[in-house]
């Protein structure tokens, strides 16, 4: 009986672990600009790294609806980014480029 209970508990734990990975934030990953001069890495816990023409900054981000707000240390301040239906990101910069995740 203990073996059956242990096996059932183990199967249940595996099912929960598998279902949780599908619940992971779909935005997580690395996004690249069309020219490669902009790289945005979105990490878990609201952490991010933005690289512009070789200069990298630690950032944080939050998401509300289809709007991602990126806040970087330094003078860049808050950067609003629109999340498109296809998963690409469009930052509000003087030079607008679409950021796409590479698979």
For 39-84, write each residue's pLDDT tens digit: 999 999 999 999 988 889 899 999 999 999 999 887 667 889 999 9
> What pLDDT, on the 0 to 100 scale, is given for residue 95?
63
What's the predicted TM-score (pTM) here? 0.72
pLDDT at 102: 82
pLDDT number for residue 7: 39
Instruction: Tell me the CATH architecture of domain 26-101.
Output: Beta Barrel (2.40)
The residue ranking higher by pLDDT, 19 or 26, is 26
CA atoms of 42 and 28, how far apart (whole Å): 5
Measure Cα distances from 21 to 8, 17, 18, 33, 66 in Å. 21, 7, 6, 27, 22
Helix H or strand E encompassing 68: strand 67-72
């Amino acid at each position: 009986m203990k073996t059956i209970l242990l096996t059932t508990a183990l199967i249940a734990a595996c099912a929960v672990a598998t279902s949780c990975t599908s619940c992971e934030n779909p935005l997580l990953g690395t996004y690249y600009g069309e020219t490669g001069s902009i790289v945005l890495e979105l990490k878990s816990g609201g952490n991010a790294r933005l690289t512009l023409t070789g200069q990298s900054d630690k950032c944080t981000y939050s998401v509300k609806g289809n709007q991602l707000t990126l806040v970087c240390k330094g003078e860049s301040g808050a950067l609003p980014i629109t999340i498109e239906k296809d998963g690409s990101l469009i930052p509000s910069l003087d030079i607008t480029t679409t950021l796409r995740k590479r698979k």
